[in-house]
Structure formats: C-alpha cells, structure tokens
Amino acid sequence: MNATIWNYTPDNDNAHSDRWNGEGFSIFSRDQQKDPTDIDSGGRGLRAFLRPYPKSTAGEPLRLSFEMKHRAFRYEFHHDPWVKAPTEIFVPRFQYPEGYRVRVSDGRWISDPCGHLLRYWHTLERDSHTILITPS
C-alpha cells in the first residue's frame, strides 16, 4: 500500500474520542474546527500526514522522503523516454504557508498554487531526476 489512514469516526468528539477504548485517532474533529471555511481547520495530526507526494510520475519512482522537522521533500525517479507529460507533485499549502523553494536536477518546473501542484518536465540527458522542495 502507498498510504494508510488509521481511522475516521465521524461522530468523534473531544469528550469521547472515537468512542472505542478511549482512543482518538480520527484525522478530523468537528470539536476542533474553528473556521469551517478553512479546509485545514479541524484537522488532527496534519503536520505528520499532510505532506507533498507525487500525483503522477513520468517514469519509475526511485526514492521519496519527507523530513517533517524541516519540511524538506525529496523525490527521485527514473524517466520513461516515451512519456512526454510532466511529473506532478501535490504541495499542500499547510506545510508551506509562506511558499516554497524548488531545486531540480535538470529540466524545468512551474508552480500551480491554486491546484497545489508542482509540474516538472525532465530532460533526456539524465537517466534519473531529483526534485527538492523546502520552505521559503
């Protein structure tokens, strides 16, 4: 599996947690929601699980890491020479509220803040490519 979400109990609250064994693993709590117009309001554990990830890769993934303390995301992949579409990385505003910096091994990239995406076009001169995202 690429990801696992432990649990979500829609009727969880601060007083009774998830209503099972006193545990509160739900990723959202209406009790903690301060601003219903903010998509992140009420989220629990967002620093840990809401992180950048490759939405699509123009080849084969090799390595992926996210260093939570420094919010440093690193992605390496081997390109498929037949794929012309860009590699797309989901970049959550929550992790980078002041924006982010991007370093790539080659090629070019553009940021789509409204779609929370980074699009990267690799070159054919290298076999593998690296994308590094850090806070501004």
Give the C-alpha separation, 3 to 67, whole Å: 17
Q: What is the pLDDT along the chain (136 residues), one digit of tens a residue?
A: 566 666 678 888 888 888 878 777 788 888 889 999 998 999 888 888 899 999 999 999 999 999 999 999 999 999 999 999 999 999 999 999 999 999 999 999 999 988 899 999 999 999 999 999 999 9
- 56, 112: one domain: yes
pLDDT at 23: 79
**Residue 40 lies in domain:** 1-50
Q: Which of 32, 50, 68 is the last residue of a domain?
A: 50
Cβ contacts of residue 109 below 8 Å, gap of 6+? 102, 118, 119, 120, 121, 131
- 70, 122: one domain: yes
- 29, 46: one domain: yes
- 99, 128: one domain: yes
3-state secondary structure (DSSP) of residue 96: coil
Q: Which residues pair with 119 in a beta bridge?
A: 88, 110
Predicted TM-score (pTM) of this structure: 0.84
